[in-house]
Amino acid sequence: MNRRDRLIARARQGYRLAFGSDGPEPQRFFAAPGRVNLIGEHVDYNDGLVLPCAIDRDTIVAIGPGNIDAPAIEVVAIDMGSARDRFGLDEPIVQGTSNWQNLVRGVAEMIHRRGHTLGPARLSIAGDVPIGAGLSSSASFAVGVALALTRFSGLDLNAKELALIAQGAENEFLGTACGIMDQMASAACTAQSALLIDCRTLEHMPIPVASDLALVIVDSGIRRELVETGFNERRAQCVAAARHYRVDALRDLTLEALKAGRAGLEPDLFARARHVVSEIERVEPAAVALAHGDTPALAQVMRASHVSLRDDYEVTTPEIDRLVDTIGAALGRGDAALGGVRMTGGGFGGCVVAVVHTSAADRVIEAVEAQYNADAETPATAAVYAMMGGACEVTPQGSG
Ligand code: GLA
């Protein structure tokens, strides 16, 4: 049984346990992946360009009919100790008592607000996107629920609508100020490709990744409390900088305009804006390098992104910087570089991403293991990941 089939079996089993093994079986199964961002960091909420790809870690939602006499959504979250929730569909949907409940309730509410009607349903949810690692477990959860609820009610929403529903749930029911990148990646990615997203228009196009490139993700193991505070503070700084320049979003500035209008702007706000503007300019060259398998070009642009996040945006940590330096050294520099490496996601810990020639994947993993065996404190782990398609219906193998 492969990874996804095991998850499906877990969701099915959880459904039987929660809703009665002699009751109806779940009728359909949906999968929504986590994501890693290759470049375009902290620019989605500045209307910029981003380049994430979906990874082979999913949230699986098993769904079946609910009680028509008392229309409600009933849910069991297998990974949350099989915790349960139930909310009526004939009454206003309000927040629940935990984050996962709020994601489900928020998604249902956002679907209603878009004018759609949901039918009663039972859901069992299981996943293997690591929580808190910066690989978008909550976006994958919300997109999976949005896809399952809408399809099961006979609605055929596109990826953009699903992503907006999932983001709305996070923004309004969870209270996180996230941008749209993670949800778009989970909803719209194509296998063996990254997704170039214009976060202003939500236009998106797959960038097929050269077949001799491999994706290596290194989880630093560091989980920081600061993530949310730091994130909200950066968002507010971007808004303040845009106001200084009298533009709608930092997307509207060039580096020249940024420098020319600098007078009167606090140095740290200038640095934040310089990260955003320069990072947006790096995305398209990175997409070209990715499509051509041009590892020296990737190395250069990913390095510049990391340095900018470290020095101008100040969202890296010493441990993450060290990991990036170690892996960068293992990949070589200049024209001989076998790939690029940078921090990925919101920052303040989390993951490092490397895109490398397939022949160099092992040396990245070995470099990480050597560093952390040497002084053993942080359990950083590195692995090769596949680039997956976005959220979809899945068919279980065998009878389960
Ligand atoms: C988090 C947010 C995204 C994005 C990234 C940084 O993952 O959820 O919207 O802002 O940080 O690029």
Q: What is the pLDDT of residues 233-245, one digit of tens each?
A: 999 999 999 999 9
pLDDT tens, 43-92?
999 999 999 999 999 999 999 999 889 999 999 999 999 999 999 999 99
Mean pLDDT of 244-261: 98
Return the exposure string of 322-341: e unless at least 16 CB atoms fall within 10 Å of the residue's CB, then b: bbbebbbebbbeeeebbbbb
Residue 376, pLDDT above cutoff 60: no
* pTM over the 0.85 mark: yes
Residues in the chain, overall count: 400
Sign of the alpha-carbon dihedral angle for 352, 356, 361, 364:
negative
Per-residue model confidence (pLDDT) at position 211:
97
User: Which residue's CA is the closest to the ligand 1 atom numbered 11?
Assistant: 346
CA 181 to chain centre: 7
259 contact partners, CB below 8 Å, separation of at least 6 = none
Higher-pLDDT residue of 272, 24: 272
- Of the listed 79, 182, 219, 312, which one is catalytic? 182
Q: Amino acid letter at 127?
A: G
CB atoms within 10 A of CB 24: 13
pLDDT tens, 275-331?
999 999 999 999 999 999 999 999 999 999 999 999 999 999 999 999 999 999 999
User: Which residue's CA is the closest to the ligand 1 atom numbered 9?
Assistant: 179
Distance 107 CA to ligand 1 centre (A): 19
Distance 295 CA to ligand 1 centre (A): 25
DSSP bridge pairs for 86: 74
Q: Is 128 designated active site?
A: no
Exposed, middle or buried: residue 398 (CB in 10 Å: 0-12, 13-18, 19+)?
Answer: exposed
Q: Which two tokens stand for residue 361?
A: 């994947």
Q: Which two tokens stand for residue 130?
A: 């690591």
**Contact residues of ligand 1, CB 6 A cut-off:** 37, 41-42, 44-45, 178-179, 181-182, 345-346
Ligand 1 closest atom vs CA 176: 8
Residue to mutate, 143, 178, 226, ligand 1, most ligand atoms under 8 Å from C-beta: 178
Distance set, CA 301 to CA 156, 255, 280, 363 (Å)? 38, 16, 11, 21
Per-residue model confidence (pLDDT) at position 308:
98
**What 3-state DSSP class applies to 54?**
strand
Residue 201, pLDDT above cutoff 80: yes
3-state helix, strand, coil in the chain (%, to 5): 45, 20, 30
pLDDT band at 24 (very low <50, low <70, confident <90, very high): confident
Q: Amino acid letter at 267?
A: P
Q: Which two tokens stand for residue 173?
A: 């029911």
